[in-house]
Structure 1
Amino acid sequence: MSKPLEITLRIDNEFQTFVQEFVPFKIKRKALEIEKFIQEEKPDIEEIEKRHFNLIVEIFEKKFTLKQLENGLNAIGHNEVIYDIIGVGILGYKSREEIEKEKEDIDLGKLLEKIMEENQQSPSTKQ
């Protein structure tokens, strides 16, 4: 079973965490429509956020309103929240942790390649 989706909002000066354990498949189609719209239309960021926010309200079955989402989501780190819910949770993209691990593996691989090249290029000091 997949990990439930979570979002924490500040509503009436109190932080509230909402959890969603089931999302109908039709939501995935709506998320894909947004992705297609972004790729084809190249809309401005406000239009993208509007569509993402409306979808998030729908994902959480209107346990909070669009206005509560707009006023209660911390602007610091909001892209990560949107990515985790829509990108990872709905569309199945790699998690931010997986992406970071891959970057570290690539960096380590490049470092090892560089060391091996340097060892092959340097004259042998063995007798």
Structure 2
Amino acid sequence: MSESDDPGWLPDEYDPDADLRERLPIMAEIDRLSGAELHAADDRGLTKILGTPFDLEENPTGTLTLHVGGSQYNWDYEIVVPSSDTPPFVRSVDMEQDIEDYEQAKKTELENVDVRIYTVDHDRLEETEVAA
């Protein structure tokens, strides 16, 4: 996609060639009213539609976690980019329970992921996709 094709809601700072740690905070800033949708793929070629980005958190060690899908206070997925050399991953969450059960019920869905914005740069995930 050329710059002239970029949707008006895409922040100018978004660089599709940057690593996920640099792109994730910009993805979190995308206006929810834009209808932006994040897609993820792992190194096995599995893809998953995650949905709309919401809040980004950074813990004291520098790990980034972006809440995605569902609604702002009841999200479906977390995109996690550790501060260490550990590859980024996507985990599903179930917000319909108390905090202890919520923490224990988190399930890693995709490991070593790349995350892209649908209609902006999601075609970059096609290189890793496998037939279902």
Q: TM-score range by the shorter chain?
A: under 0.3
TM-score normalised by L of structure 2: 0.26
Higher Cα Rg, which structure: 1
Query: Higher helix proportion, which one?
Result: 1
TM-score normalised by L of structure 1: 0.27
